[in-house]
Structure 1
Amino acid sequence: MSPPAVAPPPALRLASLKLDNFRAFPEPETFNLEGKNLLVYGENGSGKSSIFAALRALFRHPSPPPALNEKHAFENKFKQPQGEPWSVDAVFTNGKTVTWANTGLQGDKPLRDEIALKAAMLDYRALMETNHLHGEDRVNLFDVIVNTLLAGYGITSPGVAPFPTSGTAQVAISDYWATLQRVRERIGMTTTGIPTYILQSCQGFNAGLNVALSAVNALLPGLLHDLKQQDMLVKPLSFPGLVPHAEYWLEKRQYEGKTIWLEVDYRGEALQHPHLFLNEARLSALGLAIYLAGRLALVQQATGDAPKLLVLDDVLIGIDHSNRLPVLDVLQKHFADWQVVLLTHDKTWFDLARERLPKDDWACCEVYEGDPAATAPMPIVRPTKNEPARALLQKANDLLVNLGYVEAAANYARQAFEMGVRIAAQELKIKMEYRLDPAARKAQDFLDKLKSWQGTANVPRADWKAATDRLGLLKNVVMNPYSHPSAPNIPKQEVADAIAAVTVFLDLVARR
């Protein structure tokens, strides 16, 4: 008899991130991921970007910014006294830690370095590097590909100093390029006098970068298709190769050939300047596809078990809501084994994403600006259920029980009811008459249709009828009146009953 199969160990993930006196956070604040992906809503000025900045710096390749030389650059500017220690702490699901602080980098540095080789930290400005920042010139992706997009991609060492002398050693593309730049002045004065090791190093770089670009080219069509951009085709990215240029003057010695042109076919028309023709949504999708293809190409070389971390900060602001949903599908299809942190300032998008994303795989939280009158305002971080309707109920209950805001609680209960009946109609596949204007469909229309549902073995018809009848009653008596000016003086208990009615309704939908 063969031995029983042994379950593979759980994937190593980021368990928590703590910011202390770092940028917008004057006091310690911990974000608990527990190995899950994280969806964050943050209103403008709340500190959301500080989360992105912390992750981007902590997992930067080859190392975080020089904290020892700029020890006050990252601390909160309003906390007194100035000069207090600051830190960014990452704890992983295996208990290992990495800390970046004003005193430097501590903890498991090899783990941090491995994560940094794979991690992708993208914000809207990063996407602009693939198009808008080039003005009216052709888009040259050399710098962004070598220093960011494929920075950690390993290419074989040329086997000559100053590179590793082993012909099998791997050197990250960005490190390889940095080394070539350090020896630029040694190119010499004449073409015939260029050192052999520089020529060999350029040949190795050229071959390695083109191999990496081939991997990116193979991934781009599928990503553009999944992003619903079937009309666009990126012409294969290619690199002509570095050629050392000799000169008498040291400052003129350089490498020619630093070009990777971005050319696009759109509906059969060749675009050498796609950023001057395509609209914002298509350019954003194009930039996102290029970045994601680069990350997926890079991790094809991954050998360790370090987390693959993808952090997206408001990269979708140039894409309308109808084209944002495919991005979520891409994350689930192509990045299922990555740990994703998705940050947004768009509350509607946040709620939409919570409804769409798998609930067991995602943690959610909201970040709000702290008391502006405080000497050092502390952002307010509130964990949120990955279920929009239940999150609204949670707010309603908090307002009612903890603060005694009856009117506000009733209003949130009404919002939960309206979202809940729409979700229920979708989950139960309730058919509705077509309306030209979807906004004209009222919550009551959904509830009326839902009342005829016959239930299941898990949800008896009698329980369903009782729940929907009570929901309709409390909607008319409590939730609707409190959503209008001059609301009647409805007892606190009736608002609590309305919250309970919506909760029972959602529980039945979940049990179906």
Structure 2
Amino acid sequence: MKIKKVEIRDYKAFYGNNEFKVDGKNLFIYGENGSGKSSFYYALKDFFQSSSETLDYNETENIFLTKAQKGKGFIKVTFNPDKDGTTADKTYTLNKRTKDTYVAGDTSIRDAIKLKSFLTYKHLLDIHHITKDKEIDLFNLLVKGVLKHFKSVAITGNKELGELWEDAEKAVAKPTQSRTYNITQKRVDVDRAINAFDTAFKKLFQKNSIENILKYAQPILDKFGHNIELDLHYTQAKANTKYDAIERNHVRVKIKYQNKEIAKPHFFLNKARLSAIAISIYLGMIKRHIQGLPCKILFLDDIFIGLDIGNRLPLLTILDNEFSAYQVFITTYDKPWYEFVKSTYLDGNNAWKSYEFYARRTRKGFEVPIIRENHSNSHIQNYIDKAEAFFNEGDNKAAGVYLRSAFEFILKRFCFGKKVPVPFYLDNSKMKTDEFWKAVKKYKTTHAACGLTPATSTQINHYTNLVLNPLSHHDINKHEITAEIQGAITTLRTLKNELNV
């Protein structure tokens, strides 16, 4: 099963009807802060979770709805193929009153949520304060973060790991009352709750056990290329003597780096390495579940925040190689990173689509998401498409800006791919489009196989002076007229094809 389309109405940041054409592909989303990308994450998560629990739709309804508008929201997800592999649309709906995410004979949505494959940056926040007494302690990062929603009948029974820990915390926090609830009763309840958690959690650390937390996590960590070997030890929790707090609940770390044991891991592990470890553990716990499910979704919400470029690129490769059977959703607020991924990793990659979310104020005074779909998986084609869209709206100036961007990217991509020499300046602003274009034309004179035709070369020379000149953004003596924009759009499409970029 692959998600073909998502429709969201009046949910969290989304006001009115919003449609996302996923087309069965992986999705990479850029979103400004407050633009709705996390609302999209929670919409899909709530959709899948509704198959196994009752959700309070009142808590997630858009807060700017009028009384007459309330109660009409929904989350609809259309799959193709369906659970049986048939090439046919199958739509499931969650709204305030009804849901069909779990019905007799169709457990596909409920089975998918068992993977617990929705991870948000909030699950990684404990990375910033996980050292205790000069030792690394991963307890909160695991129990309250990346493994909070981990659930396995063989390990945690019918509850999530985080719920078992919450039960223990609630038992300790419950006050005694001399007549109705004395200290003896509290000791029994606290010991029972802590024992239930300990029994489950310690299974993840047993040596040579198929349940060991590192069985799947270590191979994924190896692919980050840090040459780190982990050994994790859990010190079981217990109540203090007064039974008003829990102590000794630590997950300690031993590390080997290139087969050499590190004496002080808290000095060695920076936030980027800790993030890689946490993500590896999380992804490893997903892999330990039964994989033969019709629907497998992996959603990573803004988790690139804590990763440097040395970890970000390996993670994309890991997702490609280890989670190729999953439909992957990634969000980020980092625009330079998004543009880099879109122009390299996503460019020409038919397995992916990209969307952009922006927040804009309505006439009523509140902000709503503005959703922009990139229709092509070609970075260059997206520039040309945007130029044409602005041209069709009568904005020749904006169209010209996107055409110049497309022209520059075509030339740079060609010169890089063919190793065409061009003048280099440390100051990037001194690198001129003219020099790239001259280098391409010179390359053509010595490489007959180059597809650039004399007719296209003549047209580019013509439009360089009129539209494709980067210094023509503001010139009162120049303006892009319709015929020039239209001709430049056609010529750049031809140039893209002739140079095969």
**TM, length-normalised to structure 2:** 0.78
* Offset of residue 210 of structure 1: 1.6
Counterpart check, 1:103 vs 2:91: no
Counterpart check, 1:123 vs 2:123: no
* Offset of residue 38 of structure 1: 0.6
Counterpart check, 1:309 vs 2:297: yes
Q: Distance in 2 between matches of 1:107 and 1:456?
A: 62
Question: Who is 1:360 aligned against?
Answer: 350
- 3-state DSSP class of the match of 1:77? coil
Counterpart check, 1:210 vs 2:210: no
- 3-state DSSP class of the match of 1:409? helix
* Offset of residue 79 of structure 1: 2.5
Counterpart check, 1:450 vs 2:440: yes
Instruction: State the superposition RMSD in angstroms.
Output: 4.2
Question: Who is 2:233 aligned against?
Answer: 238
Higher alpha-carbon deviation: 262-271 or 330-339: 262-271
Q: Distance in 1 between matches of 2:184 and 2:141?
A: 30
**Are the equivalent residues in 2 in contact too, given 1:187–1:195 (CA < 8 A)?**
no
CA distance 1:265–1:254, shift in 2 (3 Å) = same
**Are the equivalent residues in 1 in contact too, given 2:253–2:265 (CA < 8 A)?**
yes
**Are the equivalent residues in 2 in contact too, given 1:399–1:406 (CA < 8 A)?**
yes
Counterpart check, 1:58 vs 2:53: no
Structure 2 segments unaligned to the other structure (5+ residues): 83-88, 175-180
Q: Distance in 2 between matches of 1:74 and 1:338?
A: 27
CA distance 1:291–1:498, shift in 2 (3 Å) = same
Question: Who is 2:72 aligned against?
Answer: 85
Deviation string 1:59-97 (CA, Å, 9 cap, x unpaired) is 459956741xxx432222223236333322222221444
CA distance 1:326–1:393, shift in 2 (3 Å) = same
- 3-state DSSP class of the match of 1:54? helix
CA distance 1:461–1:429, shift in 2 (3 Å) = closer
Question: Who is 2:24 aligned against?
Answer: 35
**Are the equivalent residues in 2 in contact too, given 1:316–1:324 (CA < 8 A)?**
yes
Counterpart check, 1:387 vs 2:382: no
1:74-223 equivalences in 2 (<5 Å):
74-81=60-67, 83-93=70-80, 94=82, 95-103=89-97, 105-108=99-102, 110-132=107-129, 139-146=136-143, 148-150=145-147, 151-154=149-152, 156=154, 173-174=161-162, 189=184, 204-211=199-206, 215-220=212-217, 222-223=219-220
* Offset of residue 413 of structure 1: 0.4
* Offset of residue 29 of structure 1: 0.7
- 3-state DSSP class of the match of 2:127? coil
Question: Who is 2:327 aligned against?
Answer: 339
- 3-state DSSP class of the match of 1:364? strand
**Are the equivalent residues in 1 in contact too, given 2:30–2:334 (CA < 8 A)?**
yes
**Are the equivalent residues in 1 in contact too, given 2:423–2:431 (CA < 8 A)?**
no
**Are the equivalent residues in 2 in contact too, given 1:173–1:209 (CA < 8 A)?**
no
**Are the equivalent residues in 1 in contact too, given 2:161–2:201 (CA < 8 A)?**
no
* Offset of residue 299 of structure 1: 2.4
**Are the equivalent residues in 2 in contact too, given 1:470–1:501 (CA < 8 A)?**
yes
- 3-state DSSP class of the match of 1:494? helix
**Are the equivalent residues in 1 in contact too, given 2:74–2:96 (CA < 8 A)?**
yes
Question: Who is 2:481 aligned against?
Answer: 491
**Are the equivalent residues in 1 in contact too, given 2:118–2:300 (CA < 8 A)?**
yes
Opposite residue 498 of structure 2, the aligned amino acid is: L
Deviation string 1:203-233 (CA, Å, 9 cap, x unpaired) is 7425522258975435555545544545xx3
* Offset of residue 265 of structure 1: 6.6
Q: Distance in 1 between matches of 2:362 and 2:196?
A: 56
Question: Who is 2:12 aligned against?
Answer: 23
Question: Who is 1:3 aligned against?
Answer: none
- 3-state DSSP class of the match of 1:260? strand
Structure 1 segments unaligned to the other structure (5+ residues): 1-11, 165-170
Q: Distance in 2 between matches of 1:478 and 1:58?
A: 48
Q: Distance in 2 between matches of 1:455 and 1:333?
A: 42
Question: Who is 1:399 aligned against?
Answer: 390
Q: Distance in 2 between matches of 1:328 and 1:157?
A: 30
Deviation string 1:29-59 (CA, Å, 9 cap, x unpaired) is 1212121101112233322221123233334
* Offset of residue 309 of structure 1: 2.2
**Are the equivalent residues in 1 in contact too, given 2:112–2:293 (CA < 8 A)?**
no
Q: Distance in 1 between matches of 2:50 and 2:128?
A: 23
* Offset of residue 463 of structure 1: 4.4
Question: Who is 1:291 aligned against?
Answer: 279
